Each structure stands twice: as structure tokens, then as C-alpha cells.
Amino acid sequence: MSVRTYLDRAACVATRATGDVEPNPMVGAVLVREGVVIGLGHHRRYGGLHAEREALANCRRRGNDPRGATAFVTLEPCCHHGKQPPCTEALIEAGIERVVYARPDPHAASGGGAEVLQQAGIPCEFCTDSPLATHLSDPFVKRVTTGLPWVIAKWAQTAGGSLTTPEGESPWITNALSLKRVHRLRARVDAIVTGIGTVIADDPLLTARGVRRVRRIARRVVVEGQRTLPLACQLVRSVDDGAVVVVRAFPNGTASEKSPSRKRGEAGPCARLDASDPSLARGAQWGIKRMCVPGVEGRIDLAAMLCQLVEQHDATTVMLECGPRLLGAFFEAGLVDEAFVYGAPDAQGHAQQEGLRGKPARWVEALPLVRTKVLGGDVEYWYRRLFSDG
């Protein structure tokens, strides 16, 4: 079997922990000797054993000796003491003969494991043959290298390309199968961003419902703009089910002049909450948190908001569930990494398998199409950026 096959398998094992390990990366490891897999492991939860130690333990439970095996790992083994001891130490002690990893660890504290292993006489090979393994840790790498979270856009659209239904009709564009997939997405992200217009028009809950296991309880983040969050809305009434964070620009754009120009997708200055803002008291009794970020004429700096969600709320993954204006602003700023689009069937009930139409088709031009999947009469389009840390 090829190197890619083993790295692919390590990546597949790692995805079992989707939503359980953040802010750590998902990592998988496979131990192979003479063409036979003798151990498998993955990082199961934040603070738990790392993938390499899990694989070594699995190997021994199977009655195998890891000495002389090759370790195929999706991320370079760490070499520092954190919540767990160094993986390099475990690999050396176990007598691993060779290590192949799909991505260097960009973290200043934990990186450099390959060098440590090679100094111990264990050859290490950085291999990009498996895109699955290489890009598994994209959200972690993006956060470490840019200070920004991984951003997932999600929307549903009609056959004509509209993101809304005519007034008086059902607000649901897609079917129950598509809605179920959306709830699964919500159950594995750290924050869900929406706009005040969507809150006023649709009064959404933005919680994960009907999911077998909610891995993460996402913060519901509302970009307030010129209008304010109604205290009678479902988000406020359900604050015990998930924190609500309201974001607004600094009053009178006072911070905007301090915002330097930057390239698309780069984080701007991460503003702190302005304790002198009198609006802080509004909604505080309901447990609503507020953030103020740089902006111009009431429009917030989206990159600065994302940066602050990382710094203040430890967000690694953020999902966008907002109207076309805010969605378009995120795409225009080059801040979207992944998109799930749900296309409803046409008037004759035919699925939109020929592709997206209208403005959304232009939004996703920069994102490669990974897969389309028919869900009843709907079609799910999955787009994803291949993040480069180079």
C-alpha cells in the first residue's frame, strides 16, 4: 500500500473527533510494519492523549510491539510539554523506525518535532501526497498563522438564485434532509454569525436541534448595524441554551481611522470592548455579551470581528447564517474558507444539479467545488479552500 493510503486512513480516523478537540487540531496516526497496520489512533478530545500515544496504546492492546514500525501522522509530532507530554518522546521510547507526516506544526511552542526525532536517529519525511491529511488541520493552521478562525458560509437558495422566499410563503427554501445537515454543522462550530436584519425578519434560534450529539455549543453572534437586537427575540429568550454576542462598530467610527489597510483575508486590529459605551448596560441583565470593533459609518470591520472572536471567545470555526448583504461582504473581504449551499428544486421538482445561479455563483468562484450531493429534491454543494500556510 502507498504512503498516501496510510495518510488517508490516518485522516479518516482523525475526523471521528470533529468538534471535540478544538482549539487543538484533529490529528490521526497509523502504525505500519511490513505493510501491515498494527496500530491506529486519533486525538479524541481537547486535553486528551495525542494521536501518536493513542496509536501506540492501540498497538499494544492488539498484542503488537511498535518497535521497528513506521508512524504515518497527519501533523508533525509535537515536542513540548502541554496538557500532554511530548509525542516525540513516546515515539523514541517505543522504538519507532520512521515517521511520515502530512503537515508541519506551525505552532511556535509545539513545532520542531521532526528535528527532535531526526536528532534521535529516526528519519522523518514531510509528505504532501494525501490532500485529505494535509488539509485536515486547515482550521488550526489558519488560526495559528493568521489569528483568524475558519469561516464556513451556509445558505439555501431557490432554483432562480434567490436566498429568500416571497412574502407570505414558508421561510424554508429547502427540505427536511437539508435542514438536518445544517443542524449537524451547527453542532460542531464555535460560533454562528448572523445579521440584525435576519434576526428581525426570521427570529431564528440558531441552535443545533435533532442532533444525536452536540459536540460544541456555538455562540450566537449578531452583527447589529444601525438597528438593535430586540429583547423579545428567540435568541435572547434562549440565552441559557447558548451565549449571545452582539457586535457593533465603535460609536461615530472613532476606531476606523486607526485601521491600517491590509490584504484580503488578513486580520485587522482586534479592538477591545469599550467599557464607556452606554449601550453596554442594554441587555446585560439578559446575559448578552457585547463587542465593539473598528468600522466606518456603522459598518463593522469583519476581519477585526473574527479576530476578536478568536481572542475573546476562543473560536476556531465560525459559521455564517446571514442574509445576502452580509454574506456578500464576507466573500468580498476574502474571509470565507468553506461553503455549504443548499439548492431547492425548480418548479417542476427537478434538482439544481447544473450548478448555482445568480449572485451566489459569483461568491464561490474562488472556492473549489469539492462535492455535490442530492438530498431528496435538494442538492448540497460543498466548496472548500485549500489553505496554505506558506
Which residues participate in catalysis according to the annotation?
52
The answer to whether 113 touches 77, Cβ cutoff 8 Å, is yes
Spell out the residues 6+ positions from residue 323 whose beta carbon is closer than 8 angstroms to its own: 163, 164, 195, 197, 198, 201
Cis-peptide into 66, omega within 30 deg: no
Cα 75 to Cα 102: distance, rounded to the nearest angstrom: 6
Q: What 3-state DSSP class applies to 289?
A: strand
Rounded Cα distance, 206 and 191, in Å: 10
* Number of other residues whose CB lies within 10 A of the CB of residue 45: 11
Return the closest-CA partner of residue 12 out of 36, 49, 46, 37.
37
What count of other Cβ atoms lies within 10 Å of the Cβ of residue 2? Answer: 9
- For 275-288, b/e burial (b = at least 16 CB within 10 A) is eeeeeeeebeeeeb
> DSSP character for 242?
S
Q: In what order do the strands lie in the sheet containing 124-126?
A: 36-42, 28-33, 70-73, 98-101, 124-126
Instruction: Choose among 134, 182, 127, 87: nearest CA to 2.
Output: 127
First vs last C-alpha separation in the chain: 29
Find, among 107, 85, 142, 322, the residue nearest to 225 by Cα. Answer: 322
